[in-house]
């Protein structure tokens, strides 16, 4: 009996160590991924990069194709160094895509302040959700289906609004995206803590995408309500 208990206790300890290792590596790779994102954004702003200026619909579809291609490659090679390299390449690409909204924000007199505010808000959301997921020890995996449906609805609404260009719908999409992707951060960190995600490359990709979308959506809302041309 004592031997069985000892073996069970060792198994639990090993599981906890594995979960902590995945969480630690996820945070480290997530921090590293911000470097190519910032570099991509700087390059994009300096070159006045615009991926969707000529045809927003075609640009949007092309962006999704490239992004999903990167994500497929990352997942396919998540257990090797190539997966990490593809992830960093993907985050550089996402930085380039981010440059367009940064160019728009910098066209306002308070553009720098709005970008900083969006960054601070995103950081606050991330640390809050990560803390809740880590400290509470609750299993938030039951949120997965609801969040996926919400993400699909947001994606379809954003695609439709390329044609309709309704400002109120754009604001509603941004507000919904902040809520959905904030909840996704909670969900993804919780999966690591609960042992549902054991690969830190996959975990980093999921959390990165949520943070990215929260930042973009927050910046859109901040520009809409506080942007100044004076």
Find the farthest-apart pair of alpha carbons in the chain and give their distance in angstroms, rounded.
76
How many CA atoms lie less than 13 Å away from 193 in the CB half-sphere?
A: 19
Express each pLDDT in 160-202 by its tens digit: 887 888 888 899 999 999 999 999 999 999 988 888 888 999 9
Domain boundaries, the chain: 2-33+99-226
| CA R_g for the chain | 19
pLDDT of residue 9 exceeding 80:
no
pLDDT of residue 10 exceeding 70:
no
Tell me what the mean pLDDT of segment 131-155 comes to.
Answer: 88
Burial class (CB in 10 A: 0-12, 13-18, 19+), 72: exposed
Listed in sequence order, the DSSP H helices in 107-193 are 111-136, 144-164, 167-193
pTM: 0.89
pLDDT of residue 221 exceeding 60:
yes
Tell me what the mean pLDDT of segment 117-145 comes to.
Answer: 90
**What share of the chain in percent tops pLDDT 90?**
58
**Could you give the CA distance from residue 19 to residue 16 in angstroms, rounded to a whole number?**
5
What phi and psi, each to the nearest 5 degrees, are found at residue 131? -65, -45
CA distances in angstroms from 111 to 41, 107, 216, listed in the order given: 15, 6, 14
**Could you give the CA distance from residue 176 to residue 91 in angstroms, rounded to a whole number?**
23
pLDDT of residue 7 exceeding 80:
no
Residue corresponding to tokens 């990165």 = 208
Tokens of 66: 């490239």
Q: Which residue has the higher pLDDT, 60 or 143?
A: 143
Residue corresponding to tokens 């449906």 = 149
pLDDT of residue 5 exceeding 50:
no
pLDDT of residue 49 exceeding 90:
no
**Could you give the CA distance from residue 216 to residue 71 in angstroms, rounded to a whole number?**
19
Q: Which residue has the higher pLDDT, 90 or 230?
A: 90
Cβ neighbours around 160 below 10 Å, total: 12
pLDDT of residue 11 exceeding 60:
no
Spatial contact of 48 and 104, defined as CB atoms under 8 Å apart = no
Q: What is the pLDDT of residue 118?
A: 95
First-last CA distance in the chain: 76
Of 93, 99, 57, 77, which Cα lies nearest the Cα of 208?
A: 93
pLDDT of residue 63 exceeding 60:
yes
Spatial contact of 177 and 60, defined as CB atoms under 8 Å apart = no
Cβ neighbours around 80 below 10 Å, total: 11
């Amino acid at each position: 009996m004592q031997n069985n208990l000892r073996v069970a206790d060792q198994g639990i300890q090993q599981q906890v160590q594995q979960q902590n290792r995945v969480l630690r590596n996820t945070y480290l790779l997530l921090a590293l991924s911000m470097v190519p994102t910032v570099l991509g954004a700087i390059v994009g702003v300096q070159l006045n990069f615009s991926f969707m200026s000529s045809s927003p619909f075609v640009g949007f579809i092309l962006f999704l194709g490239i992004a999903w291609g990167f994500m497929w490659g990352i997942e396919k090679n998540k257990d090797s160094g190539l997966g990490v390299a593809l992830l960093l390449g993907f985050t550089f690409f996402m930085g380039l895509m981010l440059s367009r909204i940064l160019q728009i924000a910098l066209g306002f007199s308070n553009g720098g302040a709005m970008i900083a505010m969006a960054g601070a808000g995103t950081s606050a959301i991330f640390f809050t959700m990560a803390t809740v997921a880590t400290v509470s020890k609750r299993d938030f995996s039951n949120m997965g289906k609801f969040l996926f449906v919400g993400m699909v609805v947001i994606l379809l609404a954003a695609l439709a609004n390329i044609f309709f260009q309704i400002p109120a719908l754009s604001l509603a999409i941004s507000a919904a995206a902040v809520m959905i992707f904030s909840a996704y951060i909670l969900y993804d960190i919780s999966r690591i803590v609960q042992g549902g995600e054991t690969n830190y490359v996959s975990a980093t990709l999921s959390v990165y995408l949520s943070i990215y979308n929260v930042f973009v959506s927050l910046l859109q809302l901040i520009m809409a309500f506080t942007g100044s041309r004076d």
